[in-house]
Amino acid sequence: MRNRPQFSRAALVGWARDEGPDRVDSDSLEGALRPVLDRLRLPAGLLASLTGIRSRLLYPAGRPANAGAILAAERLLAGLAPLKERLDGLYSTSVGRDFLEPSTASVIQARLGLGPEVKSLDLSSACLGFIDGLEAAAVKIEGGFSEYALVAAGENSRPLLENTLTRLLAPETTVKDFFRNFASLTLGSGGAAMIVGPASRHPTAPRLKAMVSRADASANDLCRGDFTGMETDSTALLEAGVALAADTFQEGARSFGWRADDFDLVVCHQVSEVNTRRFCQALGLKWERIVKTYPDFGNMGPVAVPFAFDLAWEQGRIKPGSRVALMGIGSGLCCAMMEVEIPQL
């Protein structure tokens, strides 16, 4: 069925993350914005209180947008060296790009020293890119057209954040301008990489089981941006996104019998505490089962889902027999949800 693929042969063979080295807390950002906050009579602590974000990570100035993806992929392949020569696919799923051409995937391929047999391409769907990359890899493995594929993403939010600070400090900035640019202040940086391969060769690896996706393209104008700036109608985006997420989960229930309590852990793209709580309420998900990354890492776009998965695995929250949901909503709007099952030992 369209947009409702099921998998029986694809598994997550390995994964890794990279963290931006510079931590910037919300109080520091508000300190930089103090002149405009005072002029507009906006209260102290606004950023943390509205988002639940205490801090976010950044890469150093001048670092390429793809650096996080390359660093995570290098770390992953260092631990899975025999698979490097067996890769035949590479999907770069980042939002941020340093140039329109060539593809970011080709740069990653060259930096990793992957051979000419690797088909590489950029696959972007805003904050959902990584989940869609996993789907693309799994579909090819299911069909026997691929053996192992690398999915990678890296986001460097420093340029956008610094441009936003400059814009907001302009003397003509209004309260409306401030909140139209507010979402840019939530962004964090990081990188992640995963290898998808044949489940038959990796009996203990997490299995990709099923996926549903839905879109509401009529909402494509609610969030638009590039490195020079990003403007968002946060209220309308939240309402439309939550409605789309509920519709998508209902599709999973119809197609695969999903129920909220079926999932032991939910790994999702996160914008803020408000968004995440509304997401949980709409789907009936338990708050304690959400792997929360927004408080310390901010909104990392497509990096958020694989980053949170790696973090949860490191913390021992993903156990044999667990059912894990990968979920997200991306500008456009698009929504995707993927079921992952951890085999019993």
Burial code (b: 16+ CB inside 10 Å, e: under 16) for 179-209 equals: bbbbbbbbbbbbbbbbbbbbbeebeebbbbb
280 is catalytic: no
Pairing verdict, β 223-226 and 22-25: unpaired
Pairing verdict, β 265-268 and 323-330: parallel
How many other C-beta atoms can be found within 10 angstroms of the C-beta atom of residue 46?
16
8-state DSSP, 233 = -
102 preceded by cis ω (within 30°)?
Answer: yes
127 is catalytic: yes
Q: Exposed, middle or buried: residue 296 (CB in 10 Å: 0-12, 13-18, 19+)?
A: middle
Following DSSP, what letter does each residue of 88-124 receive, concatenated? EEEEE--S--S-SSS-HHHHHHHHHT--TT-EEEE--
List, in order, residues 6 or more apart from 160 with CB less than 8 Å away. Answer: 184, 187, 225, 226, 227, 228, 229, 230
Joined together, the tokens standing for residue 178 give: 């401030």
Q: What share of the chain is helix, strand, coil (3-state, %, to 5)?
A: 40, 25, 30
**Out of 30, 127, 334, 335, which one is annotated catalytic?**
127
**Out of 19, 30, 85, 101, which one is annotated catalytic?**
101
User: Cβ(313)–Cβ(15) under 8 Å?
Assistant: yes
State how far the alpha carbon of 241 is from the alpha carbons of 37, 185, 214, 312, 336, in Å. 29, 20, 11, 25, 11
**Rounded distance between C-alpha atoms, residue 200 and residue 224, angstroms:** 42
Catalytic positions, written as ranges: 101, 127
